[in-house]
Amino acid sequence: MKTARYDADDAVSVEQLRGDRQTQHDVLEALSQCANHRKWFASFARPYLGEHPIEIGSGFGDYAMQWIPSVEKFTATEADPALLPGLQAAMASSPNVTVRQMLLPTEERADHSCLVSYNVLEHIDDHIGALKSMARLVRPDGYIVLVCPAFPFAMSPVDIATGHVRRYTKRTMSQALTDAGLEVVDVRYANSLGLVCYYAFTSLLRRQPKTGGTISFYDRLVVPVVRVMERLMGRPPFGQSVVAVGRVTEEAEPAEAEAAEAEAAEAG
């Protein structure tokens, strides 16, 4: 039986990663139980995937499994070496999947039809550099689909423990995409009630998401209602997450960019 291929081109040390590894694992484990939320948020990227998307920060592979049946090939990546064996095992039955280790920013270039990255950009200090790296992995006219936590006031002890350096608004996300040279296609909030619940749970009550209990209740009973409500009412004015779509408009070789900068400097 054919299985997913694993490429380990560049080793990533734990020292290069932000946040507490155990807390991150616990949060990923809790979120992996949220099937309704996962199906909802996976739908945001599906129209943009094309035939060979790449995912940055695949974690346990939960979102990847939602997208793999819709594409010809899929590349799943993860920076944390501790998560790679589990990700490879999750993808083992999918012969059209390649599993890789990758940490952004990177100078690597590729020709993917789309890049998806959920809850990753907020961990990276140089998020503009990371977005430029993402653009180099996608062909011109391809898309980058992002989900990031919303609103700085909701930065909680859980955010800090998991290595978040920022939370976004529609304005700051749009500005980041523009600064990285991407065309802004769509930026919106999602999961409006989730923001209220997350703030109360993590900032006021100082609790951490974990399997079972509150998070399972929210996913089973509240998420389906919020999803329908937001579809009927249109775009909510706030949400737990910012969903963003950017388009790669051009592909400038590094040498050409450096030459242009040198010419501009001489002209100035």
Q: Pick 20 or 150 by higher pLDDT.
A: 150
Question: Do 63 and 118 contact (CB within 8 A), yes or no?
Answer: yes
The residue written with tokens 């995937």 in the block is 49
Q: How far apart are CA 102 and CA 108, in angstroms?
A: 10
The pLDDT, as a whole number, for residue 262 is 44
Tell me the pLDDT tens digit for each residue of 16-68: 565 566 666 777 787 788 999 999 999 999 999 999 999 999 999 999 999 99
Read off the pLDDT band of 83 (50, 70, 90): very high
Give the CATH number, domain containing residue 256.
3.40.50.150
Q: Pick 261 or 163 by higher pLDDT.
A: 163
pLDDT of 76 above 90: yes
Above pLDDT 90, what percent of the chain?
71
The pLDDT, as a whole number, for residue 256 is 42
**Which run of H or E residues covers position 266?**
helix 254-267
- pTM, whole model, 2 decimals? 0.86
Q: 30, 72, 58, 15: which is closest to 198 by C-alpha?
A: 30
Range from 19-23, 36-40, 256-260, 264-268 carrying the lowest mean pLDDT: 256-260
The pLDDT, as a whole number, for residue 36 is 96
Question: Rounded to the nearest 5°, which phi and psi values hold at 244?
Answer: -130, 140
Q: Which residues contact 266 (CB under 8 A, 6 or more apart)?
A: none
The pair of three-digit structure tokens given for residue 56, joined into one six-digit string: 């940055």
Give the number of residues written for the chain: 268
The pLDDT, as a whole number, for residue 14 is 47
Instruction: List the domain range (segments joined by +) for residue 86.
Output: 5-267
What is the CB-side half-sphere exposure of residue 37 using CA atoms within 13 A? 24
Q: 87, 119, 116: which is closest to 100 by C-alpha?
A: 87
Range from 86-90, 93-97, 116-120, 260-264 carrying the lowest mean pLDDT: 260-264
Question: Rounded to the nearest 5°, which phi and psi values hold at 27?
Answer: -65, -45
* Domains in the chain, number: 1
The pair of three-digit structure tokens given for residue 241, joined into one six-digit string: 């997450």
